[in-house]
Amino acid sequence: MAGFLSSGAQDAAVQNPPAPVPAVQDPVVQEFSGSGSTTTGLFKVPDRWEVRWNARQAVSIAVMAADGTIVAGEAGVLRGSIFLPSGGQFYLKISEGIVPSADAAPTPAAPPTATTNTAPTNAAPTAATAPTTTTNVPPANASPSQAAPATATTNAPPAEPTPVTWHLQVVELGASVASSQKLTVYEPFFVPPDSAINPVHVAPALPPPKLTEEQSQAEVIIKGDNAQGAGFLLHTAEGHFVVTNLHLLSANPNIQILTSSGAPITTISLKGSVNRDIAMFAIQDANYSYLSLSADDASAAQEGDALVIPGIIQGVDGVISIPGKLVAMGPDEIEFNNALNSGSSGAPVIHAKSGKVLAVVTPAKKLDLTDALAKAWAANSPPGSSAIIPFLGQRLAGAKNWETYDWQKFLGETLFLKQVHEETRCLDSFLHGRRRRGWGPNADDGPPDNRYFLNNPELSSANDTYKQMANGADSGQRVFATRELLSSLQTVADSDLATLQDMNDFYAYNQSRAKEEIAYRVAIKKELDDLQGNLGRLDGIARGH
């Protein structure tokens, strides 16, 4: 086979070995290292050049002209070389394992298919489309005419570098080197130079963050007659606290605060943020485990950082770790992609790297979700679904204005606001059936029970009276019954509105809620006023019930 000496020639070579030519005297035009079957990019060489290789196993080399013609080929075990007298533009096809080589006259052949690029059937690779090897490093002293063409790269690098199994050099031979000395493979046997290997180092995937034992023990459970949620123990320079959401305490009598193991926590006082849904109970310390705040969380936390949130699932013992990442960070709120459930309200958002608290988990009552933002909450449904319950993190940093709460006064205000909301929702249910539910006049979050209005005694009684008066009545009697029904609806709509509008004595958190309730009630009252000129529509609504 061309390129290897017969046994007789080998004996002669041993007796009369050619003078070795040091590799450093032979200018290296190109170097290629890799594994498996690969096609290189184009390279340009002068007359009298050589391909030298060494490998960990059998390898086949085909020298291809720029037009796709096979110029020379060779195969062998471990190391070898091919001498070519004429220069020009060429590329190489390398295959692991022995394949037939071309000793005969060159014949046209389709250019090889690269690992990452497919060449046209009758076209040689170009600078833009030439297939790439693992490495293509031109020497520092190569002239511009010898520079390798740009090579394509794969879109996704492998998770770990592929071990190099072969290494080739394209060498320009001096005029003093005879063609019979073509087996001039370099030493050592298989140590590709560092310049020819450029492994891609991919950082190993880190496991999702987990809570430490101390962080788990800082989680607390908050229970009341009407709602249950989470909170956490926090230590600051001002003392020891339990932090949670204000809305979790609203209209929720007989609050209990328990450690994650179920032990009661004794509270001293309560304060609420003026501009955020955050409450802080001052407590008696009993050697609890506490979380702490970052001194400068705006610079310590970056988008993409790992976050972990404690979670308590009914029927599961202990506190679980809910991992995720920081999606965005604003001056008042943060967004994250931790998959939470409704019981996570009030839990801390912990920056995994620093171990510090960044924010308090808070559900958003209404949010215009874009596709990208919806994907940030992996546990929720697509945009437009009534099941979307977005969670934000309200930052503790910046919540500087606090009000000291009298618990009974706060409870009384929130119970009143809940009553007002229920009355408005019952009116909404009567007028619109399955139209909407939730807070605010535009809260199209999904259908309420279309008989929800029966929860209100006044509306239930008015509905019964209408049925009795309108059953079998003539048109005049039906109009009278409809007027009586409208009067009853307006009476319910007017109830408590004056008290609601006089909100000067409300705490700041309740004032913002009262504004929403006023807007909701005023919208319903306007619809009732409009029905005075369209009693037929109200009659149709009433008969529908």
- The CATH number assigned to the domain holding 330 equals 2.40.10.120
Check whether residue 384 and residue 471 sit in a common domain: no
Residue 5 or residue 66, greater confidence = 66
For residue 308 the two structure tokens come to: 């972990």
483: phi then psi, degrees, rounded to nearest 5: -65, -40
In the 8-state DSSP scheme, what is residue 101? -
**Could you report the per-residue pLDDT of 157-212, keeping only the tens digit for each?**
445 556 778 888 888 887 666 655 544 555 445 555 554 445 555 667 778 889 99
Give whole-number Cα distances, 39 to 45, 135, 370, in Å: 17, 12, 45
Query: What pLDDT is attached to residue 58?
Result: 80
Check whether residue 65 and residue 127 sit in a common domain: yes
Domain residues for 279? 213-404
In the 8-state DSSP scheme, what is residue 447? P
In the 8-state DSSP scheme, what is residue 201? -
Smallest Cα–Cα separation from 52: which of 155, 178, 190?
A: 190
Q: Hey, which bits of 376-447 come out as E strands?
A: 391-395, 402-405
**Domain annotation covers residue 77:** yes
For residue 239 the two structure tokens come to: 């003392």
Instruction: Give the span between the Cα atoms of 282 and 102, in whole angstroms.
Output: 87
**Which residues, listed in sequence order, are joined to residue 44 by a DSSP beta bridge?**
89
Check whether residue 338 and residue 435 sit in a common domain: no
- Per the CB < 8 A criterion, the answer to whether 371 and 247 are in contact is no
**Domain annotation covers residue 161:** yes
* Cis peptide preceding 188, ω within 30 of 0: yes
Q: Which of 374, 404, 434 is the endpoint of a domain?
A: 404
Check whether residue 362 and residue 436 sit in a common domain: no
Among the residue ranges 173-177, 342-346, 351-355, 415-419, the one predicted with the least confidence is: 173-177
Check whether residue 375 and residue 439 sit in a common domain: no
Check whether residue 428 and residue 393 sit in a common domain: no
Check whether residue 305 and residue 430 sit in a common domain: no
> What string of H, E and C letters represents the secondary structure of 257-313?
EEECCCCECCEEEEEEECCCCCEEEEECCCCCCCECECCCHHHHCCCCCEEEEEECC
Residue 241 pLDDT more than 70? yes
Smallest Cα–Cα separation from 20: which of 184, 188, 190, 187?
A: 184
Instruction: Give the span between the Cα atoms of 101 and 496, in whole angstroms.
Output: 97
Instruction: Give the span between the Cα atoms of 322 and 31, in whole angstroms.
Output: 50
Query: What pLDDT is attached to residue 278?
Result: 94
Query: What pLDDT is attached to residue 328?
Result: 87
Q: What is the mean pLDDT of the chain?
A: 75
Smallest Cα–Cα separation from 37: which of 1, 13, 61?
A: 61
Q: Which of 404, 420, 454 is the endpoint of a domain?
A: 404
**Domain annotation covers residue 308:** yes
Instruction: Give the span between the Cα atoms of 528 and 20, in whole angstroms.
Output: 106
Q: Work out the average pLDDT over 115-126.
A: 39
Most confident by average pLDDT, 121-125, 132-136, 249-253, 448-452 = 249-253
**Could you report the per-residue pLDDT of 385-419, keeping only the tens digit for each?**
344 456 889 998 877 789 999 999 999 999 999 99
Query: What pLDDT is attached to residue 16?
Result: 46
Residue percentage of the chain with pLDDT more than 90: 29
Q: Amino acid identity of 244? A: T
**Domain annotation covers residue 202:** no
Domain count within the chain? 3
Measured CA angle at 132 (ends 186, 80), to 5 deg:
25
Check whether residue 371 and residue 329 sit in a common domain: yes
Check whether residue 400 and residue 427 sit in a common domain: no
How far is Cα of residue 223 from the mean position of the Cα atoms in its chain?
A: 32
Other C-beta atoms closer than 10 Å to the C-beta of 530 total: 11
178: phi then psi, degrees, rounded to nearest 5: -80, 155
Residue 279 pLDDT grade (very low, low, confident, very high; cuts 50, 70, 90): very high
Q: Which of 349, 374, 404 is the endpoint of a domain?
A: 404
Check whether residue 399 and residue 429 sit in a common domain: no
- Per the CB < 8 A criterion, the answer to whether 109 and 62 are in contact is no
- Cα torsion 411, 416, 420, 425 to 10°: value is 40
Instruction: Give the span between the Cα atoms of 461 and 353, in whole angstroms.
Output: 61
Check whether residue 480 and residue 377 sit in a common domain: no
Check whether residue 314 and residue 455 sit in a common domain: no
Helix (H, G, I), strand (E, B) or coil at 20: coil
